Structure 1
Amino acid sequence: MTPLILWFRRDLRLDDNPMLAAAVETGRPLIPVFIADKSVLHLGAAARWRLGEAVAGFAKRLRSVGAPLILRRGDALAQLMALRAETGAGGIWWSRLYDPDAIARDAEIKSAFKADGLEVQSFASHTLVEPWQVATKAGGFFKVYTPFWKALDARGVASPLPAPKRLTIMQALPGSENLDQWHLGAAMNRGALILARYAQIGEEAALTRLERFLNGPIDLYREGRDFPAKEAVSGLSENLTYGEISARRIWHSALAFEASQPGHAGAVHFRKELAWRDFAHHLMFHSKHILTENWRPEWHGFAWRGDSDEAETWRRAMTGEPLVDAGLRELYVTGTMHNRVRMVVASYLTKHLLTHWKIGLDWFADCLTDWDPASNAMGWQWVAGCGPDAAPYFRIFNPATQADKFDKTKAYRHKFIAELNRKPGPEALAFFEAVPRAWGLRPDQPYPQPMIDLRDGRARALNAYQTRELQEN
């Protein structure tokens, strides 16, 4: 009955939290902890701000079941060892993460605690299934999404667990740091106030978001999810990132919806998107180089362009291509970007501008509140053509035709681009409130001319790809 340290990371919820449910079953006194180690402090500006908000929301949620959240900052191993010395805890539990840095950190901590004769346990929590639980018939990992989806769907997903109503907490808890003094949103400057208007923070908000989606937008999801002006998506990626809701809870809620309306196309496609997220983690676990280099080795010799004035113009959402700029402005204002537009924005940078996908990946990592290392890397490499299950190199999204097809009324572009409106709305104006003053951008300035002719950019990209193929042959 020694106390048990529960180290929360990306599982900031009570509902369907296997670690927490198992800990409550033991009857042992619990010590809930969150540590701001380098995995937190090195996050991009928007993700670090949003994580701070998630921690604050989770602390409030824990208090509702009688438990404070102990906050510590610094090296995770050192902080956990200090907590163990302060409390006499007999063990430490956490929920698993699958990126290489987290795996290495957790292995070191596990080894150190076990060497001291202490109990260490980790739990599945962040994905539908664990990356090694779905395998090909030969026992390897999947490199193509469709067979992965079929295998996962056939395997099934464990049922979610209910939230505990009360926690048994160690009576003399150790001291806690003050979250406000961590200044996790400092790098956002004035942009934090803008993001706060659009973020839906915490477990209760996430569950409400899911319920709202199932009560309406899911009917439009299969077709409507490609139209950025339509209310056809769930918006839950933000909450999934911080574990404010579990993928299993979402999956089984969609399954229950399907049971009430058999064969509902929206619900099936919604589950496929959840499986796509798992596929990204599956690939990251089995081929960690996806985060840092071309997944396909035949692309290693391709002459990507590095950072440049053109890339900076892209970052500032001033390319002169309205759909591209609208997406990048949505990113800066809301911390997210519609998925269809993400593909167009990424294609424009990597193909029309022939710029290395890592330039875009790093910008998204700094600006996304739903940033996820696996999904971000797989998405960029998929569009660039160098990743697993990638779009073929000759698939080059044309921003103009994509806009005509998926934003025919221009509602999305007008929502985020002030210069195209006589009376711009709040989202369009918020971009100029959020950007650094040093950029010198104003809503009353003329909208820029296109920085590159789309036909010329496409021809240049195709020529570069064909040259690469000739060199390989």
Structure 2
Amino acid sequence: MENERPPIIVWFRRDLRLSDHPALTAAVASGRPVIPLFILDDQAEALGAAPKWRLGLGVDALARALNNLGSRLVLRRGRALAVLQDIIARTGATAVHWTRAYDPDAITRDRDVKSRLSEQGIEAKSFTGHLLFEPWTVATKAGQPFRVFTPMWRAVRVRDVAPPEPGPATLRGPQSWPNSDDLSEWNLAQGMNRGATIVAPYVQAGEAAAFEALQGFLDRIAHYSENRDRLDRDATSNLSEYLSLGEISPRSVWHSVQNAAMTGVSGTDAFLRQLVWREFAYHLMFHTPHLLAENWKPEWEMFPWNTDATRPEVIAWQTARTGIPVIDAAMRQMYVTGRMHNRARMITSSYLTKHLMTHWKIGMQWFADCLIDWDSACNAMGWQWVAGSGPDASPFFRIFNPLTQQEKFDPSGEYVRRWIAEGQSTPPATACAYFDAVPRSWGISETDLYPNPIVELPAGRARALAAYEGLKNH
């Protein structure tokens, strides 16, 4: 048709879904053909092994969902601006839509893309979708960004959240599709090596899986408040990887939980608070982007953390051989499933930064390579919160004792037995899988004896407290 209107490119990033996708909804509402596009740019290439592999699964699931609508996902590798300009030239597209990002590198990239495309007469428009509240819309009474979580929670808990939008029933494509890369040729699993085979059974990627996980959580949310810290129980939402990649929107989660609350289900407020904790991380990253790479509190630059990632105690922590069962169990859970229980993350982070006096950046970077639900804002804030250097931080003198934490949150030892094979005559498959998941170069086998503690907990605590006192005195 000669009078076919020019298409709109919808540039997918960490928004791998079709429902409640304002950028896509606006493109469909225009009545124009839509070209869904995913670009493996420098920022995606820089992802760690586990999140890059998981991204590939999400992209594949999105491509299949688009195929079911009679559309397709165009895949390209390269600089975002160059790829967009090439597809615009080949298709005659006159608009590009995308979901807004909030980390400093993405903001710089997106501003450049918007500026350069606008100079060419191309409409370049970003939309909300990754957060409940845009960072510039939430402020204290003095008009400043919140620096403490609880006041922010009180400010937003009563705010209206727009209802989620349904996804399109069909999606009209252009008369001529641009060429697309083959996802398998990107080899996004390369960094995982043999670990991908071990982690794969624990992953269900895509929007449909995200909503299934949400429904499963709603079935048990009534016990969320009292059980969410229990390592031995499936009490958390298991939504972190889906929210990280945007396979489900926070608005969909918020309203589903609110609807459950309206039917009298308990436990909902405690979970919504955690959803806003995620928002808090993003708001801090947007307003104080140094959160991602530097101590949020500058005085912590003087703290005598170890910054050598090759030291034996760091290697022991990384290889899950510290001799502290709950620490090693948590790390092994991560290597086998790609995820780690939130309480376990706090315990392992505290142990590294306090008992082992190791810089939080070493732990943050390790998690960024190993977690399939990696999220730049949440990862950075979580580590700095535990270390004591960040906003709304856990005081440095609040040093988690791994033994008492295990007694409280894994009282029967079920969690530790699930992930540590040594010492069990017939260890479960979950525990044995650790030896198949980790790199062969670690030289670890099932015949190894379980190690003695690399540091005595009282001595580690005393050393950390002495260093903290030194910082205060300085």
**TM-score, length-normalised on structure 2?**
0.98
Q: Which of 112, 117, 121 pairs up with 1:113?
A: 117
Q: Which residue of structure 1 aligns with residue 287 of structure 2?
A: 286
SS at match of 1:154: coil
1:52 counterpart (30, 40, 56): 56
Residues paired across the two proteins, number: 468
Once residues 154 and 260 of structure 1 are traced to their aligned partners in structure 2, the CA distance between those partners, rounded to angstroms, is: 18
CA contact (8 A) 1:284 1:291 kept: yes
Deviation of 1:463 after TM superposition, in Å, equals: 0.3
Alignment match of 2:439 (pick from 432, 436, 440): 436
Mapped to 2, the partners of 1:350 and 1:57 lie a distance apart of 38
Q: Is the 8 A contact 1:72 1:177 kept in 2?
A: yes
What is residue 175 of structure 2 aligned with on the other side?
171
- 1:301 corresponds in structure 2 to 302
Q: Distance in 1 between matches of 2:32 and 2:17?
A: 20
**Does 2:288 align with 1:319?**
no
* TM alignment of 1:8-87, pairs within 5 A: 8-87=12-91
Do the aligned residues in 1 keep the contact of 2:131 with 2:279 (CA within 8 Å)?
yes
Q: For residues 249 and 187 of structure 2, what CA distance do their matches in structure 1 show?
A: 27
Q: Which residue of 2 aligns with 1:186?
A: 190
1:319-369 Cα offsets, whole Å, 9 max, x none, are 000000000001111111000010000000000000000000000000000
| Partner deviation per Cα, 1:264-306 (whole Å, 9 max, x = no partner) | 2x11111111100000000000000000000001111111101
2:24–2:97 CA contact under 8 A, matched in 1: no
Check whether the contact 1:11–1:126 (CA below 8 A) recurs between aligned residues: yes
The sequence identity of aligned pairs, in percent, is: 53
2:346 paired with 1:356: no
Point out 4+ residue stretches in structure 1 off by more than 2 angstroms. none
Q: Quick one: distance in 2 between partners of 1:420 and 1:260? A: 47
State the one-letter code of the partner of 2:277. W
**CA shift at 1:250, angstroms?**
0.4
Equivalent pair of 2:350/2:400 in contact (CA under 8 Å): yes
In 2: Cα distance, 1:151 partner to 1:134 partner: 8
- Out of 159, 162, 186, the residue aligned to residue 166 of structure 2 is 162
Cα RMSD after superposing both structures: 0.8
C-alpha distance after superposition, 1:84-143 (max 9, x if no partner): 111111011100010000000000000000001111111001111111111111111000
Whole-Å separation in 2 of the counterparts to 1:138 and 1:154 = 19
Q: Deviations over 1:177-224 (max 9, x none)?
A: 000000001010000111111012110011011111112x21210010
Q: Which amino acid aligns with 1:248?
A: R
Q: Following the alignment from structure 1 to structure 2, what is the Cα–Cα distance between the partners of residues 185 and 123?
A: 30
Alignment pair present for 1:414 and 2:417: yes
The one-letter amino acid of 1:392's match is: P
Report the counterpart of residue 195 of structure 1 in structure 2.
Answer: 199
Q: Name the counterpart of 2:153.
A: 149
Tell me, in whole angstroms, the C-alpha distance in 1 between the residues paired with 2:415 and 2:274.
22
1:135 match: 139
Larger displacement relative to structure 2 (151-160 or 48-57): 151-160
Paired with 2:121 and 2:158, the residues of 1 have a C-alpha distance of 40
Unmatched segments (≥5 aa) in structure 1: none
Q: Counterpart of 2:392?
A: 389
Matches of 2:80 and 2:424, distance apart in 1: 50
- Alpha-carbon offset, residue 165 of structure 1: 0.5
Q: CA deviation at 1:309?
A: 1.6
- CA apart distance, 1:154: 2.0
SS in 1 for 2:10: strand
| Contact map agreement 1:414 1:420 (CA 8 A) in 2 | no
Distance 2:110 2:204 in 1: 30
Q: Structure 2: 5+ residue runs without aligned partners?
A: none
Range with greater deviation from structure 2 (409-418 or 438-447): 438-447
Paired AA for residue 69 in structure 1: L
Deviations 1:54-100 (A, max 9, x none): 00000001111111000000111111110111111101110001000
